[in-house]
Structures are given as structure tokens and as C-alpha cells.
Amino acid sequence: MKPFIAIAIVLALVLLTRPISAQVTLERLYVIECGERTAPDVSPWTPGVNVGRPVDFSDTCYLIKHGNDWMIWDTGLADAVFTAPPTDPNAWKRKNSLAGELEKLGVKPSDIKYVAVSHTHGDHIGNVELFPQSLLLVQKAEYDWPQQDGKPRFLPSHPVKRLEGDYDVFGDGSVTIIATPGHTPGPQSLLVKLPQTGAVLLSGDAVHLRDNWDAKRVPAINVDKEKTAASMRRMSEVMALNNAQLWINHDKPQSLTMKRPPEYYR
Ligand SMILES: [Zn+2]
């Protein structure tokens, strides 16, 4: 065998048998605190029970690194809430800013390739325009849903991919948007398959509290209650299929157990 042929064969073998870790993969997931609120009565979220009982909500953003690409899932309360806190004791507040949290991690807004939001309530889209160049990943039904005053929910100039159902973000099955309609016209959840932690389903607002999930209780705030119930069943199926944990965006007790930046989940 001529030496160059032998070298070519060895090279081909090295390339073919390269371990997975040398390829571009999902590397890390940061769980960032993006707001908090105490509501005086939890019962709108737990119809039929806990009337008059106050509740603490968290509000969470997630930062994902896949190879050299960064993605944000939900952008939380607007950073302006941190700079100019509201006086209403029941209003959402921020202890930090998303811009500040990213800066501490050395991540620039222009580094974010994808900004995906579970839905368009203000506690999830507050900082979308911190990332004017990032491709917005949102369900078409949500994008097309006008605000009460008839205005669009996003700046028409913002680059966008309007989804109609599930979507494999990086094309390798590691991060998948799962359509979970009902709370609003086009909510979505996110299935993240971390190499060490395993699969995690980020809830969006199909469910707000662990207790609701366990009791399969649909909150009063819905555009379509039946669709929310069906979305919760779909989430259960996705979780069973992938042996996934459920991380609930607004569940404060769970949120308090989470690793915070600079720590992250692998
Ligand atoms: Zn919501």
C-alpha cells in the first residue's frame, strides 16, 4: 500500500470514529432569575382551591450554549423594572437586569443567535429588544395575535421565524420547541437534552405551579382551557418519552433550588 493511501485510510477512520464530545453539541444551560412577584390570592391559578392564599412567583430566563451558538429562552420582565421599580407591592419586580447577568457571564447581546419566547405575556418578552439582531423563534399563532389596542406584539423589523408546531432548533434533536397552545394562542415549551443532567422540559406557562401540575389543574387564565389541558397531556407524553424533568418557570419553591450563574447545568 502506498504511504499516502495508508495515511488517507487512517485519516478517514479518525474522522469516522471521532467521539461525540469532539462534535458541536449542547454544552450548558444557565437558569437566570428574571423577576419575582407576590400575588395576594393564588386562586385564579388554582381554580377551586386556596382562595385568599398569597403566592410567590418566580420568573425565569434560560441561557443555552450549543457549540459556539447562544440561545435565550424567555427574556423575563423588562430590565426597566429593575432600574425603576414599581411602588405597587403586588407588581412584578427584578433584583437584577438580564443585560447585567449576561455581562457578568461575558456574553454580549449580539452573541445571542436565537431568542425564543414561550409566549407573549409581558413577564416573558420584556427584553426581546435587547437582542435586535437575534432570530426570534415564536409560533405564528402567537406572533399574529394582536395586542388589545390592535398593535403587533413584536417590532415588525425584528428578524423572526414563525413556527407552526414543534421545531428542532439546532437540527440535532438536542433542543426542541414543543407547541403547547391554550394559555395564549401559540405558547411553546422547550425540551433540552443535556449531556449530564439529562432531558429537561421548560414549561412555559402551560403550568405555573408544581401543585397544579400534580393535580392537572388548569389555571383560569387561558384563551382555550381545553387546549391547555391537552397541552399538559402532551407535555406528560414528551416527558415520559424522554425521561425528562419538568422545570416550571414561575414555581418559586423549585426556582429556589436551582443553580444560579455562574453555575450552570451540563
Ligand atoms: Zn403567561
At 244-253, the pLDDT tens digits run: 999 999 999 9
Cα 167 to ligand 1 centroid, rounded to whole Å? 21
pLDDT of 220 reads: 85
- Is the pLDDT score of 174 beyond 60? yes
Q: Higher confidence at residue 18 or residue 170?
A: 170
Q: What are phi and psi of 60, to 5 degrees?
A: -125, 140
Measured in Å, residue 208 CA sits from the centre of ligand 1 at 9
pLDDT at 264: 98
Residue ranges of the alpha helices (H) in the chain? Answer: 3-16, 80-83, 98-104, 122-125, 140-143, 210-215, 225-242, 252-255
Q: What is the mean pLDDT of residues 121-141?
A: 98
> Is the pLDDT at 13 greater than 60, yes or no?
no
CA 32 to ligand 1 centroid distance, Å? 18
Is 11 a residue whose pLDDT tops 70?
no
- Alpha carbon of 205 to ligand 1 centroid (Å): 5
Task: Please give the distance, rounded to the nearest whole angstrom, from the Cα atom of residue 118 to the centre of ligand 1.
Answer: 8
Residue 22 pLDDT > 60: no
Residue 17: pLDDT over 90: no
Q: Ligand 1 centroid to 68 CA: how many Å?
A: 31
- Whether the pLDDT of residue 12 is over 80: the answer is no
Distance from the alpha carbon of residue 106 to the mean position of ligand 1, in angstroms:
29
**If you average pLDDT over residues 192-205, what whole number do you get?**
97
CA of 121 to the centre of ligand 1 (A): 5
Percentage of the chain exceeding pLDDT 70: 92
Query: Residue 86 — very low, low, confident or very high, per pLDDT cuts 50/70/90?
Result: very high
Residues with Cβ within 8 Å of residue 266, at least 6 apart in sequence: 27, 28, 29, 194, 195, 196, 197
Report CA(54)–ligand 1 centroid distance (Å).
Answer: 18
Decide: 132 and 75 in contact? Cβ < 8 Å: no
Query: How confident is the model over 124-131, as a mean pLDDT?
Result: 98
Q: What local confidence, expressed as pLDDT, does residue 10 receive?
A: 59
Distance 266 CA to ligand 1 centre (A): 28
How many angstroms separate the alpha carbon of residue 8 from the centre of ligand 1?
56
Q: What's the rounded mean pLDDT across residues 54-65?
A: 97
**Quick check: 19 pLDDT over 60?**
no
Residue 58 phi, psi (nearest 5):
-95, 170
Confidence check: pLDDT of 189 > 60? yes
Query: From ligand 1's centre to the CA of 113, what distance in Å?
Result: 24
Q: pTM for the complete prediction? A: 0.90
For residue 21, the model assigns a pLDDT of 46
Q: Are strands 112-116 and 135-139 parallel, antiparallel or unpaired?
A: parallel
User: For the chain, what is the mean pLDDT?
Assistant: 93
How far, in Å, is the centroid of ligand 1 from the Cα of 83?
23
DSSP string, 98-127: HHHHHHHTT--GGGEEEEE-S--SHHHHTT
Q: In angstroms, what is the span from residue 206 Cα to ligand 1's centroid?
A: 8
- Gap from CA of 124 to ligand 1 centroid (Å): 7
What distance in angstroms lies between residue 176's CA and the mean position of ligand 1's atoms? 20
CA of 188 to the centre of ligand 1 (A): 11
Of 56, 59, 58, the C-alpha closest to 74 is: 59
pLDDT, tens digit (0-9, with 9 covering 90-100), for 206-235 = 999 999 999 999 988 899 999 999 999 999
Q: 26: CA distance to ligand 1 center in Å?
A: 27
Question: Residue 57 pLDDT more than 80?
Answer: yes
Cα(67)–Cα(75) distance, integer angstroms: 21
